[in-house]
Amino acid sequence: MRERWPKLRGQLWFWVLVAIAAGIVFGLVSPTEAEKAKWLADAFIQLITTITGPVIFVTVVIGIASIGNLTRAGGLALRALGYFFGMTVVALGLGLLVGNLVAPGSGFDGNVSDAAREQAKEAIGEAGNDSGLTSFIQDDLLPDSPFGPFVENEILRVLILAILVAAAISGLAAPVRERVLAGFQTASQIIFGVIRLIMWAAPIGAFGGMAYTVAKFGSGALADLGMLALTFWGTCAFFVFVVLGVVARVAGFSVLRVIRLIRDELLIIVGTSSSETVLPRLLAKLEAAGASRQTVGVTIPTGYSFNLDGTCIYLTLGALFIVQASGQDMALGEQVAMAGLMVLTSKGAAGITGAGLVTLTASLQAFGGEFFSAESIAVGIALVVGIDRIMSEGRALTNAIGNSVATLALAKWNGELDERRLQEVLRRPELVDEAVERATRGEGAEDEREGRFERDKEIVIAH
């Protein structure tokens, strides 16, 4: 045991786990003071979101421009979007199916607090500017300045800018392109070095987030979350272990081993309730696990807006809960029409805390009709607000696992996966941790630039 302690002490996941446990105890013992600890989680998320835009930009630029063939890059993006569309339909359909079978809102009898009503008004206000596909393209997709997307941390717009820059670099002569890419690779090393420093603050953020959650909702947040929250978590578990399990098995790996591989990131998500906090580490870790830089650079950033499986389950299940809680029945055809609309409205919901609630509100407003008048939406959202923090963790965990499986599966099907390396990493996840640490220190970058990257060696990654 004494021999294992120094090694355990150096693992990030261990300290995150300790912080989560400490946060739970603090929230139960001193709820008044623990509620004030939320700023710790918010501060950590703020630090991560500061670096998220640059991470996505340099990763996508390097990933696409290093291909040197826009046709190949476009084919990879189209296959990724096709996969995302299929998973979106499955997740939305699963939410509808479970919502009808379990009917978590039937016989609901609860009062809406004034605080919940105020939070619902905020969500409605944030969603009120959404006016459909045109608004999505202009306000969420296309950049309005070269630096605005980075300032506002708008992932989709950063992604579009990165694709345009990568396309321009791809059109340069080979010697010039290599020099430009070398500059981006150097910038990538610096950015990932910053991330390495920030991530050691993850236990502090996890402590604050968990202390706040337990203090706000009491011990019920751990034992009795309510029928809707339990149904949602159960549905997410089914999606991960059955649906994604089948996808992983077809691609030749185990979803359970993938979960073990990204355990550090999942524990951080549990503490912060945000999948955005682990985006930079997922980029590095999945490349270290054997997926090509091109596949990782395209799939992960795109998936954070187009492959939010947990959010999709939440949307249909939450909408049905609101309908059932109001004592109404929605015909199957209307449910399908609503899910069809949510295929669009679910896109662009960033993986940050609270985004799912705003997206649900916007979806209900867009669908409208007799089921979702302004008053019923206000009351329904106010009901969901009470347990949204608990459900937000389930959304974020499912989103992160879904994008990790998608990256490895697409890499396999595109012939961009080192399967021998992946299997070794899945057996010994600590190899990837070592590789990511080396990457953030910049070790090995020169070899890759000179084309001497030895794929048969023990895990080596360069940025």
Torsion of the alpha carbons at 296, 298, 304 and 308, rounded to the nearest 10: -90
Predicted pLDDT at 254: 94
Do residues 13 and 267 lie in contact, with contact meaning Cβ atoms separated by under 8 Å? yes
> Which pLDDT does position 463 carry in this prediction?
35
**99 touches 92 (CB < 8 A):** no
| DSSP notation for 140-179 | IIS-SSSSHHHHHT-HHHHHHHHHHHHHHHHTS-HHHHHH
Question: Domains in the chain, please, with CATH?
Answer: 4-444 (1.10.3860.10)
Span 95-135, pLDDT tens digits: 999 999 988 877 655 555 555 555 555 555 555 555 455 66
* Closest C-alpha among 287, 270, 159 to residue 213: 270
Q: Can you give the pLDDT at residue 436?
A: 64
pLDDT for res 457 = 37
Instruction: Report residue 278 as tokens.
Output: 């682990």
Output the pLDDT for position 42.
78
Nearest-angstrom CA–CA distance, 418 and 416: 7
pLDDT of residue 223: 41
With a cut of 70, which residues of the chain have pLDDT below it? 1-11, 13, 63, 66-71, 73, 107-141, 153, 155-156, 213, 216-226, 345, 347-358, 362, 366, 368-379, 381-383, 385-389, 434-463
Task: Specify whether the CB–CB gap between 31 and 218 falls below 8 A.
Answer: yes
pLDDT score at 292: 87
Checking phi first, is residue 429 left (phi over 0); if not, alpha (psi -120 to 50) or beta?
alpha
